Amino acid sequence: MSPRLLSIALCSLLAVTSVASTGCVTRIGFSLGYLGVPIPVSPYFQKRQEDKFWLQERYERAAVLGPITPGSPAIALDVPSDDEVMVRFGQARPIQGGLPMFHEVQRNNIRIVKEKIADYLDPPRVVPLLGPVQLHHAHYKCTIYFTEVTRVGWPVPYTTVDEDSVEVIYIDHNHFHMVGNVDPGTGSPY
């Protein structure tokens, strides 16, 4: 056997041994075979799923609150947070995904003014799976003041600064209030 052929065989044996000894390919016991090898996922798809879950968890659910106590004002206390306003603003005018050194947009010196424009209750009605409830509406007008800086790097580099940018976003907060006897077991002899 020639020394070149021997070195090729030895290198091949070493390569097969090193691949077979990694934790991803071989296991003692149950094995998924080639399905057990991890497949990389693009950060774009992972971030899109995480953002979708985060929005569903925080802002896209309607709460069912207890009944409104007699004599108390029926006003909504849940003013939109700054985070919620910026999420809605980002959905209306997204800047994520600019091209560095070619076209970049920044929003600086952000100031948010929130004002309630409506707060009212619908008459009681029966909703399946909830029972008798009242829908409480609260509408807010959110004005966002900011400085928008746009940097373009090609073909002619320039920067524009808009000091007086203003956007108005309307946010609706709706939630249910239970109506009637909340604990139906109080009058039952059983």
- Report the predicted TM-score, pTM, of the whole model to 2 decimal places: 0.67
pLDDT tens digits, 123-136: 999 999 888 999 99
- Give the whole-angstrom CA distance, residue 130 versus residue 51: 29
Residues of the domain holding 132: 65-70+80-182
Q: What spatial distance separates the first Cα and last Cα of the chain, rounded to whole Å?
A: 93
In a domain, 17, yes or no: no
| Choice among 16-25, 61-70, 109-118 with the minimum mean pLDDT | 16-25
In a domain, 54, yes or no: no
| Choice among 24-28, 58-62, 70-74, 163-167 with the minimum mean pLDDT | 24-28
What pLDDT does 130 receive?
Answer: 87
In a domain, 20, yes or no: no
Which sign does the torsion angle of CA 22, 24, 27, 31 carry?
negative
Rg (CA), the chain: 30
In a domain, 7, yes or no: no
- Count of structural domains within the chain: 1
